[in-house]
Structure 1
Amino acid sequence: MLSTRFSVRALLRAAAVVAAGALMAGCAAQPKVAANDGISVDVNGPVKVALLLPYGTGDQGREQIARSLENAARLAQGDVQNATIDLVVYPTAGTTSGGAAAASQAVSEGAKIIIGPLFSTETAGAASPAAAAGLTLLSFSNNPSVAGSNVYILGTSFQNTADRLIAYGQAHGLGPFGVIYPSGLEGETARDAVREAAAGRGATVAASEAYSLSVAGIQSAAGPAAQALLAAGANGIILTDGPTGGLSFIADGLRSNGIDQDRGQFLGMQRWDISAEAMQAPSLQGGVFAAPDPTIVNAFNGRYRAAYGESPHELAGLAYDGVAAVGALIAEARSQGGSPFSTERLTQASGFAGVNGPFRFTASGRAQRNLAIVAVENGAAVVREPAARTFDTVGF
C-alpha cells in the first residue's frame, strides 16, 4: 500500500514526475544494522548536498554522462517538497584521486551528504574522506565491492538482476539453469551473481561457460558451450553480456549449434532494448531480460527531453533517484525529528519510489530495485511482467 503523501502514481502523470524519490509504504523486513544516528543537520534551512561527477576526464562520452547526471539531479532538486537542497557539483576527473579530492573539498565546504561519484574507483577514493567526516555517500556505481560502511550504491547490481531472472525462470518452469558469460572480471562477477541467486532460491546452475570477447573467441566457444548446455539439460540460459559486447554473436552461435527456443529460453542480465540492432536479432526473439519498469522510465525520459531537448543517458535516472531520496529524507526529518541520514532512515524497508522503479538500501549498502521482465517480440520490447510497485509483494 502506498502512503497518501508519497504515491508512485505521481510518476505516471504526464505533467511531471514529482514524487519520484519519495518514501513509499511497505511491510518487508530488512536486516538489522548497527545504529548510526547520522550527522547533525539543520533541516529547516538549505542542506548542502555534494554531487560528484566525472567532469574533467577529457573523454567526450564521460562528459556527456556527467552532464546527463547533473541535469537529472537538477530536475529532482526542483521537485523536492518540504525541503531545500543546496546542490553543489564537484568534478572528479573520473579517477580515484579525483574522487578523494572532490569528497575532501565537499566536506570542507559543509556538505552533509554526498551523491556520486559514478565509477567504483572514484567511489573508493571518495569513501575515506567522507567517512572521516561522518558523511554518507550514495554512489552511482553498481559494484558491490565498494558498498558498505558509509557507502550505498544506487546502481542495479548483478545480484539484484540475477535474483529477478531466477525467480522468473522458476515461476515459468525453467531449470536447471545455464550461464554464458564473457571472460574477465565483469563476466565472472555476473556468473557468480547467478550462482548466488540460484543458491538462495534453491535452483541449480548446471552449466557455466565462458567465451573470449571477440568474434573469433565467440565462434570457437559457441559450439562447446551449446553442447555443455544440452548435456546438462539447462533450459533457462542466462546471457550476462550486453548489446555493446558480444550478446547478439553468442546468442546466434548458441542457436546455430542446437539451442533452439524449445530447448533453451534466453534470459538477459543487461538491457537489450538500448540497441535497435540487438532487438532485431533473430536469435534474441522470444528472449527476456530484466530491466527497470519501462512505463516509469519513459515518463522520466519524456520529462527530461522536454526540459533539455535531448534524451538522457540511461544512467541519468540514478542521479534523480539519489537527489529525490535525499529530499524525502530531509522532509521526513523535518516532520519527525532526528538526523535525515541515520542508518535506520537510509535502510528503511519501505524504500523509495524512483524513476527507475522502487528501490531500497540494504545493510550491506546495495540497492534492491524492483525490476520488470521484458520480452523481445517481433523486434519490440514488450513487458511480460511489470515491476512490483512495493516491496511487500516481492521475495527479497
Structure 2
Amino acid sequence: MRALVFKTFFISKKTFYYVILLMLIFLSACAEKQLENISTNNINQNPKPQVLKNSSNEVNIKSINKKNIENLGLTKDAEKTNKQRITKTFKSNSISDKDFSNRFLNIENNVKTNKDSISQKNIKKTDQNISQDKSSIIKNGNNITNESNKEKNISTPKDEAILKSIPEILSSKIKVGLLLPLSGSNSELGSAMLNAATMAIFDLSDENFELLPRDTQGTPKGSIEAINDLISNGAEMVLGPVFSNSVKAISPIVESANITVIAFSNDSSISGKNIYLLGFSPEQQIERIISFASSQGIENYAAVVPESAYGKKIINAIETYIPMYGGRLNKIEEYDIKQGDYRDVIKKITDYEDRKKLLIENREKLLVQGDPVALKALERLEEKETMGEVNFEAILIPEGGARLRSIAPLLAFYDVDPRTIKILGTGLWDEPGIGLEPALVGGWFAGPSPEVGKSFRQKYREIYEKDPHRLASLSYDATALAVVLSRNGNEKLINMSILNNSSGFTGVDGLFRFNQEGLAERGLAVLEINKKGFKIIDPSPETFNNLN
C-alpha cells in the first residue's frame, strides 16, 4: 500500500515539475517581445502590466489585460481600481452580440456570432495529450518545444487545472495585426488608437480572435519591419498603418504575401491590390457639402486651398462636383502652408483692391456732382471700405486648426459680409471649441454625425479620462470589422467576402462600405457651427439604398 501511495506521489510530482518547466520556458519566450498580443485569453490571464523601453527610451505597453488595466491609467479612482470594478466597467459598456449584429456592424450576411459574455470567458481547453517529441506551446510565432521523453500524458484533474493557467495554443486562433505609431512624434495618436482597439476587443471579440499590435514608429521603415513581423507570426489580416507614405512602403509586401490590409489613410491613390482605406475621404466630404449647398440654392463658389497634395485633391474634387450639382467655380486661390500669413490670398479672392478702387472712383464722381442727392450718397459711402459685391455666394475653406482660425476672420477684415456669404468646410472643422471663432459661426461642413459616435466618446472618456483623438474611432471600427470577418463558422480563416458587402456597415462614425477601388464610402451629415459647437442640419443616411 505504501509503495502504491509513493508511486502515485512520485508521478504527480514529476508531472508538476514538468508543467512548471513548460511555464518557465513559455514566460522566457514572451519576454523577448515588445508588444504582447491582445486577445481574450491574455486579457484574463496576465496578472501585471509589463512595459519595455525602446532605443529612444520610450515606454511601450507589452501586454493589455483586464487585471493590469488599473495600472495603465484607465479608471478614475486609483484606490478603487480592482479586477471586479474593471470588469464591471467594460461589461456595462459592452455591446452584446445581438446588438452588434443588428446595429453596430449591420451586415446582411449569415455570420455566426456565438460567443459568451467577455466577463465569463474561460481559456479554451487544449489537447491534454502532450506527445513525446512534438509537444510545443506557440506564442507570437515562437515554438517552445517539450524535450522531455519521460512523460507522454498529463491527464490527472490536478494537472489539468494547472494546464488551464497556461495560455492556449495559439495556432488555432485568427490573428489580425495592428500597425500604429506607438513611439515617435505621433505616439499620442497611436496610443489613442490602441486604446480604441482595446475597447473593441473587450466589447466584441471571442476567444478565437487575437489582435497583434506593432509599433511602426510613424515611419515607412518602421512599418515595413512591423508588417514583416506580423506576417512571420501568422497574421491573416492587418489594420493600419496610419500614414500614406507608410501604406505605400508596405504595398509590395502586402501584394507578395497576399494578405488584406485595412489602412487608416485617406489617400485614394494608394488603394487597391489588397489594400482598403478606412480614412475619411476629402473628396467625399467635398461632394457632400457641395450637394447640400446646391440644394439650398447656392450656385456661385470660391475656394482657398493649400499648395499641397491634399490641396490638389480638393481642387480636383471641387472642379468635379460644383459643375455636377449645377454650380460655378468662379475663383480659387492657393496659399503656402509654411508662410503663416494669408492676407494676400484673401485680398485676392475677395477682389478687395478692385472693390476699393471702385469706391474711390464713385466718391470722386459724387464730389464732382456736388448736388444734395450726390452729397447724401457720398455720406453713406464714408462708412464703407469697398464697393460692389464679391462674385461668390459660398467660399470653401478645407482647413482645420490654427490655419482655419487665421483664414476665416480675414473675410470680414476685407469687407465680405458673413451674413450673405456662406463659409463651407470639411471634417477638419470637427474639433473642440470651433464655435469660439465668430467668423465661423453659421458655417457648414460635412462630417460624421456626432450623435452616432456619442456613446463611443463617452465610454472612452470614462475609461481613459480624456477625449479620444478624432481618428481613434477608425481603430475601433476596423477592429470591430475584423472581429466580424473572423466569425466564419468553424473555419479558421477570415471571410473577406464580407468586406465587399454593398449594404455596408454601421460603425462608430456611421454608415460606411468599401467600393471596388477599396475606398471607404461614408454616409456623412452636414453640420452648422454655432457658439456651443455645431448642430446637425442635414442628417447622415441610414442606408446606402438611395446613394447607389
Q: TM (normalized to structure 2)?
A: 0.61
Q: What is the distance in 1 between the residues matched to 2:262 and 2:190?
A: 16
Indicate which of 288, 300, 308 corresponds to 2:456. Answer: 300
Aligned with 2:401: secondary structure?
A: coil
Indicate which of 16, 19, 22 corresponds to 2:105. Answer: 22
Q: Which residue of 1 aligns with 2:301?
A: 177
Q: Does 1:309 align with 2:436?
A: no
Aligned residue identity for 2:539: P
Indicate which of 51, 54, 74 corresponds to 2:181. Answer: 54
Aligned with 2:470: secondary structure?
A: coil
Q: Map 1:206-285; keep pairs closer than 5 Å.
A: 206-213=330-337, 217-227=341-351, 233-244=391-402, 246-276=403-433, 278-285=434-441
Q: Does 1:68 align with 2:221?
A: no
Q: What is the distance in 2 between the residues matched to 1:46 and 1:78?
A: 17
Q: Map 1:149-164; keep pairs closer than 5 Å.
A: 149-164=273-288
Q: Would you say the 8 A contact 2:303–2:333 is kept in 1?
A: yes
CA RMSD of aligned residues (A): 2.7
Q: Which runs of 5+ in 2 are unaligned?
A: 1-91, 110-170, 356-387
Instruction: Count how many residue pairs are aligned between Structure 1 and Structure 2.
Output: 357
Identity %: 27
Q: What is the distance in 2 between the residues matched to 1:84 and 1:21?
A: 20
Structure 1 stretch 250-259 or stretch 312-321: which is displaced more? 250-259
Q: What is the distance in 2 between the residues matched to 1:369 and 1:49?
A: 24
Indicate which of 64, 79, 100 corresponds to 2:203. Answer: 79
1:328 Cα offset (Å): 1.6
- Structure 1 residues 127, 207: closer, same or farther in 2, change over 3 A? same
- Structure 1 residues 187, 379: closer, same or farther in 2, change over 3 A? farther
Q: What is the distance in 1 between the residues matched to 2:95 and 2:436?
A: 31
1:371 Cα offset (Å): 1.3
Which is greater in Rg? 2
Q: Which residue of 2 aligns with 1:133?
A: 257
Aligned residue identity for 1:134: N
Q: Which has the higher contact order (CA 8 A, sep 6+)?
A: 1
1:78 Cα offset (Å): 2.1
Structure 1 stretch 208-217 or stretch 264-273: which is displaced more? 208-217
Q: Would you say the 8 A contact 2:460–2:467 is kept in 1?
A: yes
Aligned residue identity for 1:280: L
Aligned residue identity for 2:391: G
Q: What is the distance in 1 between the residues matched to 2:349 and 2:477?
A: 39
Aligned with 2:453: secondary structure?
A: helix
1:202 Cα offset (Å): 4.6
Q: Does 1:334 align with 2:489?
A: yes
Aligned residue identity for 1:46: K
Q: What is the distance in 2 between the residues matched to 1:137 and 1:211?
A: 35
Q: Which residue of 2 aligns with 1:357?
A: 510
Q: Which residue of 1 aligns with 2:268?
A: 144
Q: Which residue of 2 aligns with 1:120?
A: 244
1:338 Cα offset (Å): 10
1:254 Cα offset (Å): 1.7
Q: TM (normalized to structure 1)?
A: 0.83
